[in-house]
Amino acid sequence: MDAQCSAKVNARKRRKEAPGPNGATEEDGVPFKVQRCAVGLRQPAPFSDEIEVDFSKPYVRVTMEEASRGTPCERPVRVYADGIFDLFHSGHARALMQAKNLFPNTYLIVGVCSDELTHNFKGFTVMNENERYDAVQHCRYVDEVVRNAPWTLTPEFLAEHRIDFVAHDDIPYSSAGSDDVYKHIKEAGMFAPTQRTEGISTSDIITRIVRDYDVYARRNLQRGYTAKELNVSFINEKKYHLQERVDKVKKKVRDVEEKSKEFVQKVEEKSIDLIQKWEEKSREFIGSFLEMFGPEGALKHMLKEGRGRMLQAISPRQSPSSSPARERPPSPSFRWLFSGKTSPPCSPADLSRHKAVAYDIRRSYLEQSKFGSHALLTQVE
């Protein structure tokens, strides 16, 4: 037991003295990383009237200096913290954690006031005294619980539980006709202050519930509680059910709107993509069309070339004006007529054949001349 206690004290000292990551200390604000520990408390904290106390040993209070230096393991510093602890929350747990860590070797005793005292001096509670006792018992920082704790601490109570220091926040607590119920504790040098946790308290939680009463009433009606259990009238019950149905319809409408917005957004994205693709394809098509059928397109050049070739093919070839005209040699029969030489005598059959050839030559020449003049007139027109 002594070895286990000394190990706990040494471990607590190491966590305070050891540097954090990258050599940072606790003052730097960097959270320490501790080793994973599977060992934990398996039983709730015992009640004070269930613990055997050895009254044969004398009770001698330790001073603040002795407690700060550290006491032997068999003599822990007994710190007392009291309260109502209604709707036990993180603010209560943090206050008890501070009380537990006031000194290196601390034994934390927590006193919980009864329903009678609380209702007389502070007001009605949500949880009854047994529920509040049980909630404090299961806090990991608590070593002992005092049931039916007194509202004002007396010397007899402090001596009975061998209390060295009393932990509470430093704000004066006026109650029971006193400006500060811890005034005599502070004067005796037994007060160890802790800090309150801002933003969380029993009164804040109750305020939230009262403020949103309709919401929580509807919530519990939906979970199966009856109107009688919730102290809700018949009219309010029907109103809450109607509001619940209206909220369901509104939720469905919102879901449909969100889905329709998503659908419209998808359609818009697809339409934009299609328009962009269509614009790209249309530009390509218009460019290809202009290249083929435009003012300087390939089709116009093809037509010009084809027309030139057709005109060249159907027009007669004319000799250039600068070139000398070629004289056609006269036909043999013509030479024979005008030459001094006499043609050789020919038979009647040969003569008729020569006449027919000369007639064909004249006819073809006339036809060519007529066709050439007609083509020339066509060009001029």
Which has the minimum average pLDDT: 163-167, 354-358, 376-380? 376-380
Using a cut of 0.85, tell me whether the model's pTM lies above it.
no
Strands (DSSP E) along the chain, which ranges?
Answer: 77-83, 106-112, 144-147, 165-169, 191-194
For 155, what's the count of Cα atoms within 13 Å in the CB-facing half-sphere?
A: 3
Give me the count of residues in the chain: 381
Q: How far is CA 227 from CA 136, 223, 246, in A?
A: 32, 12, 20
Mean pLDDT along residues 24-49: 66
Residue with tokens 């000194």: 103
- Tell me which of 3.40.50.720, 3.40.50.620, 2.60.40.10, 2.30.40.10 is the CATH number of domain 48-188: 3.40.50.620
Give the span between the Cα atoms of 279 and 285, in whole angstroms: 10
Mean pLDDT along residues 228-239: 86
pLDDT number for residue 117: 94
Give the span between the Cα atoms of 163 and 158, in whole angstroms: 5
Which has the minimum average pLDDT: 9-13, 154-158, 329-333? 9-13
Q: Report pLDDT digits (tens) over 252-270.
A: 898 888 888 888 888 888 8
- pLDDT over 80 (residue 317): no
Burial (CB count within 10 angstroms: exposed 0-12, middle 13-18, buried 19+), residue 122: middle
Q: Where are the chain's structural domains?
A: 48-188, 202-304
